[in-house]
A and B are shown apart, each in its own frame.
Chain A
Amino acid sequence: VPVVITGSAVLTCLGNGESTFAALLRGVTGVGPLRGADASKLSVTHGYHVDDRLGGERFLASRMLTSCLREAITQSALDVASRRVVVIVGTGLRELGAVESGLPMAVQQLHFGSAARAAVPAAAEVLTISNACSAGGHALALAQDLVESGAADAVIAAGTDSMTTSMLAMIGRVTDVPTEQVRPFDADRTGVLLGEGAAAVVIESEPGSARPLARLLSTGLSCDAGHETAPDPAGIRRAALDALDRSGRGAAEVDLVVAHGTGTALNDPVEAGLIGDVLASGGPGPLITAVKGAVGHTSGGSALLNVDVAMRCMAAGMVPPIVGLRRPLDEGAGLRFVTGRPEPAAVRVAQVNAFGFGGVNSVTVLGAPR
C-alpha cells in the first residue's frame, strides 16, 4: 500500500504555503532587519521573521505549530477521532526562545505536546524529536515507518522553530561580516540566517477524501559520527543512496532536488558535489532549487517546507528559482540550478535534502500522485 501525503501546511516569513510558493516563483525574498534581539551584540543584523499576526512572540514555535497542524488536517479531511493518529514534531531548538525570556514556564512547555493537542486533541501520541536542522526529515522517516508497519493509521509529521538569542549568537560567530541575505550555492555566499517557520504534512496509507498531494516513497537517514558542524560527504551520500534504494527509483528518474542549500561555506559545495555525484553522473541531472534565500533557515521545519515546495512544483509544473543565487559556485559547474525565473518542468520524482549539525542527515524521495 503506497504511503501518501494528503495534507500540507507551512508558515514562513512569506506567509502560508500558497503565498510562499507564489513569492518563490516571483523571486521575492522575505529577509528583513533582525527583530527581538540586539543586532550589534550578535553580529547578526538580518533575519526572516513571520508576520506577527500570531500575537506576541513568546511561544512562537508552539503557536506556529498549532496553526500548521490545523490547516494540514483540514486539507487532508483526516478523521482524527476515529483513527489512530500520531503527531511527530521535529525541532532544533524546541521552546528555548521562551526559556530565554526569563519568564516562568513549565518544563513540559519546552516540548510540543500541548501545542499539538490544541490542534489534535484526539491524537494517540505526540512525540517531540530534536534532530537539529534535519528534524523534519527524521519525523518523515518515523512517520512512514509507523504507517507502513500499521502502528498508526495516520501520522502528522511537523516541524517548527523560532529564533533564540543563543542560536543567533552562534551564527554571528561563524561569519566575518554579518550576512544580509542567504545566497544558496552562490560563489559569493556569506553564510546562513535564521527563518521563523513551521510546517506539517499528513501521512496516510490510504488516501482519505482528499486527493493525495504526493506519494512518500522513502527517507534515508544517516549520522556522520564525525564533526560537530562540518558536513561529511560520505555521510550524506549514505543517506542519499539509502533513500534512492528504498524508493525503488533510479537516479536518472529524479526530476527535481529541493536542496538544503544553506548558503554556508561548507554545506553548499558538499551538497553540490553530492548531487553531481549521485544524480548527475550519467546525464544532465535534475533541476535544483532551494528556498533559504527567500525564507531563511527554518531549521526543524525546513525539510517539510521543502516537501511542500516539491509538491507544489509537481502540481504547478513549475520550479521556482533559487532566490539569492546570482553566480553558481565552482563546485556546482554543470548542475541545473534554477536561477532568475521559474522553470517549467514535469516533476514526477523529487528529492528533498536536510542536513543538521552533528552530522544528522535526511534525504526524502517523493513521487507525484498517480
Chain B
Amino acid sequence: MAEKTYLQAISDGIRGEMRRDKRVFVLGEDVGVYGGAFKVTLGFQEEFGAWRVIDTPLSETAIVAGATGAAIMGMRPVAEMQFADFVSCAWDHLVTVAAKQRWRVGTPVPIVLRLPSGGGFSGGPFHSQNPESSFAHIPGLKCVCPATPEDAKGLMIAAIEDPNPVLFFEHKHLYRRIKGEVPDERYVTPIGKARTHQEGDDVSVITWGAMVYTAEEAAQQVDASVEIIDLRTVMPWDKQAVLDSVRKTSKVLVLHEDTRTGGFGGEIAATIAEEAFEDLDAPVRRLAAPDTPVPFSPVLEKAYIPQVDDVVRGLEELISY
C-alpha cells in the first residue's frame, strides 16, 4: 500500500498489465517519447519499447481504428485521446465498428480508450467536456469514470480485462490533486458496481468523477446526514445501489459535471421515478452544467461547473422540503 496520485494509479494500472500480458500495448499522440500529454505513460517507451508504446499520427480516427483492428486480432490495446473532447473525430470507428463488432460478427473488441475529461482549469470548449452520456447511450460500449486513485487502478485493470470496448474517463482535475492509498498488488474493481463514498440517512447524492469531492465538501456544510454514492461506472451503472440508497433516504440529488439535457443524470432520475416512486419524499433533483459549451473565462467556468455552494443549496432545499 502506498499513497499515489490519481494519475500515478492509472499509470500503475496500465504498466502492471503490460508487464503481465504481452498483448497489452498503448498507442496515442505523444504517448511514447513525450510520455503523453499528461505524462501518464512517462517512461513506458523506455521500459516496453517503441513497438508497445506507439506514437501515432495526429488522427483519432486512426488511433481508434488501429486499436479496434489490433483488438480483433487478439491484442489488448490501451489507446489515449489527448483530451476526451477529441474522441468525436473517432465516433464512426468507435460507434459503428468497435461497439457493434461483437454483436454483428461475434468478435470481441477488447480496447480501452483513455479519455482525459472534465474542466475546472479554463480549458475552454475543446478541452473540458464530460461526454460520457453520449457513449453510455451506445449499446456495446462501457463507460468508466473513477473518482479515487484506488478505483482508477482497479478499473483500469478491469477495463483492460474486459472483452468489450471500454471508455475510461479520467478526470484531469483529479490527476495530481487527489491522492490516496493504492494497493501495490494487482486487483480488479468490478465494472458496474457503485461505491458508497460516505454513508448517510437524510439525503442521497448520486454522482461520479470529480463531483464526488464537490459533494463531499458540500455534505460537510449542511446540517444533515448525507449519503454519497459514487457510481464509478455509468455504463453499466449500479441501479441497485442507487435504489437502495433512495429507499433509505427518500431524497436524492443527482449531480454531474456534464451538461443537463441528455446528461446521464436524467436516466438515473427517470429510473428512480419508475422504480422507487413510492419511496420518494421529495422530487428528484438534478444538478448539472447548463446546456452550453464550457466557457474559457474562469469566472464563467465557475458559474458553469456545479460548485460546492450549488450543491449545498440543492441539499438544503431537499433537506427542508
| Same assembly | no
